[in-house]
Structure 1
Amino acid sequence: MWEFVSKIPKQKKTKKLKREMPQKIIKQYGVNESIQRIKNAMNKIRKDPGVQDLLRPFVDQLKSKAEAEKKGTKRKLSETDSKAEDMKSEAGKSSAASDSLDVEQEAEGKNDGKLTAKDEPGRLPQKDRKSQSWRISIGELKASGNPGNKAIGGKIVQKSGLRTYQTRNKEKKFFFNLGVADETASIKVMVYGRERYQDIQEKSCYLFREVIMEGNDIKVTKLSKVSKTPQIDVPENLEMEARMLIDLQAPVFSIKQAKISAEKTLVSVEGKVTEIGSVENIKVKNRRGKKDKQDFKLEDDTGSIRITLWGEDIKHLRGVSCGDVARVTNVKTSHFQDSVSLNSTDSTKILKVQSAAVQSVTIEIIGIRKASGTQTELEAELSHNNEVQPFVVASSLLAGALGVSLGGGFEDRLLDKMPFSADVEIKGNQIIKIKSVK
């Protein structure tokens, strides 16, 4: 990777460098150029779906943005040409040069020699500067390194879990990090203490005053002033930047380390998803009503662990399949008898690091765990190693391969056809293509 990212100084290749590489690349080039450079590098290093499938959504997004900007430029030029014709017809005797100058002033707007927001990257639009002279943009702050007596405003795009550090006196102290962005740039904000943890919410906008600047980061102490402010429109690429400032810095435990951590320790883990359970609606102890719950298993080189997602946290598992490598951030350890599991928190996130590879195999379907009109969970033996594994398949796909109809009695019709051999394409435990073997 370093060979293809030429502007970044060469460094000794260590595990720490590997962890920090994404953040260093983004800091050097910004999100958009980073995506393009990674794409170019991977076209020379790895063209397999495991990498290219991860890059494609970001590359497509850049392409769509470029096309939209191109259309906008063409529209603007068309409008300018139209105004030029109107002015030529009114002036009649004006020279072509004068017409061109008048059209440019009309289309772009006179600024009396002053630079516009477009001329000054990182500055707020001119109308906002007039009405918000008390506020400094994040872009200006990063350029100057000093907010002066101005407030820093931004949207909380991402919030880490509560973390701890030790003072020189070995006293335990709390802090948490925020990924903050405005119209001009993104920045990491470190908030000392835990008093503000519940009050500062993701997707809300805040003003920060009397903060400490350290490098390109902001530090909020007990003496700092924090207040809510109206919504700030943040470009999508800057939201992505702010999110990655937090997600890429979360300390990752091995599963073995997570298992030996104390009860309710906040950890992040990374590994291969080996099993995904169904969503259950259960009665929670000491609470009224029921709550949705979904379990899945994660495995790395040191072991495996069960992770439970609660309520709205279940949505983070969407788009993740068995076989994918995922990073699960800000989950808490839970000890019960001799087993240790992990529970989701308000700040839990699941990031898909690598998609499972698509494999072509022959299987023999030997059992049905659960069948509905939309999805069927089954057990099948892999012909190449005689291993029995659980699989999930769209019921319509399975019905077509077996030549049976959906609807009432679907499970019984499946059982009548078993055991059943098929050539399949699988992604993790998901069957995406199936064809009967005669």
Structure 2
Amino acid sequence: MSEISEEDWKRDLTIILEDLTSAQYEKMKERLTDFPEVQKAGRSREKMPGKIIQLYGTEKSILEMERVMQEIPRMDNRIQKLLKPYVEKVRSKPEKQQDDQLERSQPVKKLKTRDSQDGKALWEKSIFDLKSSEILETEAIVGKVVKKSKLLTYDTKIKKGKFCFYLGVADETASVKLMVYGKDLHRRIKEGSSYIFRELIQDGKYVKVNASSSVSETKPVNVPEEFEREAERLVYPESPLTSIKDIKSSPPQTHVSVEGTVTEIYPVQKEKVEHKEKMTNQQRFKLSQEAEEISVTMWDEATKQSKDLSVGDVLLLTNMKPNEYCGKVSLNSTKFTKINKVQSVGIRKVTLKIRGIKKATLKETQLEVELDTKLQTLCVASRLLAKTLDFQLKKGFGDDLLKRIPLSVEAEIQGNRIIKMADPENI
């Protein structure tokens, strides 16, 4: 057996630590046993590998990192392909040599050997292992359901209208797409919960859960962010990034992603939607890209993603659906739409001119304002408006306010809301 090169281990340990997210790196430092707190706080990531090896020694540091990576957890192939060769070399040494080495360093937590292997019960298989080998009837996977598809119907030669759906499931090592049969399981299995999937069937490219399989809810499984995103994409692949110019000529049913700058935001409104008994939340804003501009409408739950947008924010919208009405193309949110802020302007300090009143209640007022040479609608708490402009807040106050406009105010705005106001004459 070849000796472990400290130089090689330091190089690969550096790569391992560089691959950790900030949160994972902090967890790693917290879980290092008998490591001086002052060293944890003051040591840069660049110098940390050398300090770890200096403190624990080469072989002990390998075992320590093996334990820590299990606890973070980072058991994915990208980390393990660097770490495992060193672990195997340490563990392949005669037992006495291992004990001598451990006596010269700090004790490490040993994994159970009677009923577990690599921190897992003997019946439990990681998703990474599942994807690289067959699963046996006596084995199971434990994972978090990151994404669940809608219920689908299919026909067989014997019966029509049977049900199935798809799950994006992930653990600390990888993600997998499961095909699940049955309407009852669709109701029982919830996104965000973790389950034990037993007696699975591997059929070609699919891993299937059928009537013979067992599904049991279990304690939460920690999943790295990269595998969460991967699990989402397995069920609902992200739509292609498309320019606004091309969207306007796309077929109406095509799902698209688009990047652009917010130029105008409208207040949330209640709209009556066909086939729904209750009124549905709706929020519109405009998105520009080079010389092109398009109207975007967020519906229902998707309006929660647009509540903190500001004019000037650069957004990436995924899985939007183009819609054409009276020859004009707009974008509508879907169940799978996501808003990602590429660049945020946050809170803006501006001077704006109030030109009109769109709606006025004792709780909130919608003002038509002139800002950046354009008219747009901004919302403000009526109490703040009354305090700034020194009028009595009472029923019908909008009529009195109309007599004073147009008027200019200094304001701080976030999204389509005025959060602070001051009358320039009183500053």
Tell me the distance in 2 between the aligned counterparts of 1:116 and 1:394. 61
Residue in 1 aligned with 2:315?
326
Partner of 1:229: 215
> Counterpart in 1 of 2:264?
275
Candidates 366, 383, 407, aligned match of 1:396: 383
Q: Within 5 A, what are the aligned runs for 1:39-438?
A: 115-116=111-112, 123-124=119-120, 129=121, 133-138=122-127, 141=129, 145-146=132-133, 148-149=135-136, 150-158=139-147, 179-182=168-171, 185=172, 187-190=174-177, 199=186, 202-205=191-194, 207=197, 209-211=200-202, 220-221=205-206, 224-225=208-209, 229-234=215-220, 238=223, 240-245=225-230, 250=238, 251-285=240-274, 287=275, 289-302=277-290, 303-382=292-371, 386-438=373-425
CA distance in 2, matches of 1:429, 1:372: 17
Equivalences, count: 306
Amino acid at match of 2:217: Q
2:336 alignment partner, SS class: strand
Amino acid at match of 2:413: I
**Cα contact 1:179–1:187 (8 A) shared by 2:** no
Cα distance, 1:371 vs structure 2 = 2.2
| 1-structure distance, mates of 2:267, 2:175 | 37
Name the residue aligned to 1:19: none
TM-score of the superposed pair, with normalisation by structure 1: 0.56
SS at match of 1:345: coil
Partner Cα separation in structure 1 for residue 23 and residue 315 of structure 2: 23
Which digits, 9 at most, give the CA deviation of each residue in 1:275-326, with x for residues without a partner?
Answer: 34344444434x2634404132342425333333333333333333443333
**Distance in 2 between the 1:195 and 1:270 partners?**
38
In the alignment, the residues of structure 2 paired with residue 363 and residue 409 of structure 1 have an alpha-carbon distance, to the nearest angstrom, of 24
Give the match's secondary structure for 2:246. helix
Structure 1 pair 28–317 and aligned structure 2 pair: CA distance change class (3 A): same
In structure 1, how many angstroms separate the alpha carbons of the residues matched to 2:118 and 2:386?
A: 57
Q: Distance in 2 between the 1:26 and 1:257 partners?
A: 43
Displacement of 1:423 after TM fit? Answer: 1.8
Contact 2:264 2:285 in 1 (8 A): yes
Deviates more, 1:25-34 or 1:225-234: 25-34
Partner-residue secondary structure (3-state), 2:335? strand
**Contact 1:25 1:34 survives alignment (8 Å):** no
Structure 1 residues 212-258: Cα deviation after superposition (integer angstroms, max 9, x where no partner): 9xxxxxx952x63466733343367x374444336797343222333
Mapped contact 1:270–1:298 kept (Cα < 8 A): no
Q: Which amino acid is the alignment partner of residue 220 of structure 2?
A: V
Distance in 1 separating the partners of 2:181 and 2:263:
35
Q: Does 1:32 align with 2:23?
A: yes
Looking at structure 2, the residues matched to 352 and 426 of structure 1 have their Cα atoms a distance apart, in angstroms, of 18
Query: Which has the greater radius of gyration?
Result: 2
**What is the SS of the residue equivalent to 2:337?**
strand
Aligned partner letter, 1:354: Q
8 Å CA contact 1:135, 1:152 repeated in 2: yes
Distance 1:153 1:193, change over 3 A: closer
Determine the structure 2 residue equivalent to 1:61: none
Q: Is the 8 A contact 1:323 1:427 kept in 2?
A: no
- CA–CA separation in structure 1 for the residues paired with 2:111 and 2:180: 42
Please name the residue that 1:20 is paired with.
none
- Unmatched runs of 5 consecutive residues or more in structure 2: 1-10, 28-70, 72-106, 152-164
Distance 1:418 1:280, change over 3 A: closer
Instruction: Point out where structure 1 has 5 or more consecutive residues left out of the alignment.
Output: 1-6, 9-23, 37-68, 70-104, 163-175, 213-218
User: Hey, what does 1:48 align to over in structure 2?
Assistant: none
Q: Which amino acid aligns with 2:216?
A: P
User: How far does residue 392 in structure 1 lie from its aligned partner after superposition?
Assistant: 2.5
Residues 278 and 161 of structure 1, relative CA distance in 2, 3 Å threshold? farther
Q: Report the CA distance between 1:368 and its aligned residue.
A: 1.2
How many Å separate the matches in 2 of 1:301 and 1:284?
30
Q: Identity over the aligned pairs, expressed in percent?
A: 36
